[in-house]
Structure 1
Amino acid sequence: MTMISARRLAAAAGFLAAAALLAACYLPVRFDAEIEVDRSGFYSMIFDGYIVSVPLRQDLAQKKISPAEEKEKVAVLTRDLARDKAFTEVAYQKQGIFKVHWARKDDLMRVGMVTFFRRNEAILTLKYLKDNKYLKNQGVIIMAAGDMSRTVRQQIADAGLNMTGEVRLITDAKVLEHNATEVKDAAGRPGRKLYVWRLADLNAPTPHLVLVPG
């Protein structure tokens, strides 16, 4: 293999990897998310709202694709999302935006981690950590939303996108720390607290909570 062909192959591989990563880029636009975690580690997580394919949105805004090409890309993205059986609704709206409903429940102590909606697209994550910085001899459960740098937030805003939503978490476990907007008793759920994060835009603080199972 010549030096030129090797360089071309490496460049092509790099381009394909970058294209694959970009093609999988989704951002929540408007949503409600509700999580419940009990002290034994059982959880339920529901995401209901709208997510946008950033690359498709950019292509449409820049008029790089035709209506026929948009239809083809939407079909590919719909199949991509629907591979996750936790999605019970995936419906294309317009301008790269999909209406989705996703729900999952399990024993977090057994599975270790759950993400909406996959690890390289972690919009919301629940994770059980035996070894952690919070407690020496006891595991903790961490709820966190995907974070973005200030630069990425600005790039998304410049593309005409925003993010608004509400995250709610109900638990009867001891909470070590959180940055919720509001905390109150969970209605009709004696002994359980409701933690609420209201996200007004892309610059809202990233939701975070640490609780102790058991």
Structure 2
Amino acid sequence: MRVLSFFKVLSLGLLSTAIVPTSTADEAPATYLQCIACHDDNGQGNTALSSPAIAGLSESYITRQLNNYASGKRGQHPEDVSGQQMVMISKQLDLNKDVPALAYYIANLPQVKAVSKLSGDLKNGSRYYHAKCGACHGGQAQGNKSFNAPKLAGQHSSYLSKQMRNFSSDVRGTHADDKLGRQMAMMAKTVNEKELKDILFFISQQ
């Protein structure tokens, strides 16, 4: 029986040393128990806590974000309360053993598409998305490992909205060594509220 889950993310970096995880997709590593309270028992997240769905995210994305939290590249801004919580958790993990096992397990959890109550202009959302997001995140928001871009489809719209605002207000993506985060911050600043609403609606339909 699968053990429960918790994490906060969602933007990558692989460990330099290849490590074969000891857990399987049906066997959660012991450290996964820390993830239960916020990310739900199957990694589907919790909108009440602004916790993202993590099930099915790529190993590389999970690895990069945990490393970013642990190294201070993410979660340092005083307004990023969720990020600060993740910093504390990530610093308790062994980056060479715990992180690969967690990333492998989470990546193999089945993703369940988040229920969305959003409304918006699908046509405009598609146009804005493909103009500003699709090149990195894929035409259907499926993500693109070549660009280290995570999957957005199936994610809670409230989480995506919060992260876009974090990027645009310099709460996230300001660290000098977070190249991908800085790229996202720059792009987020080009999206206005109406465009964001339609983009999120488009993503929710994928």
| TM-score, normalisation: structure 2 | 0.30
More helix by share: 2
* Greater Rg over alpha carbons, structure: 1
More strand by share: 1
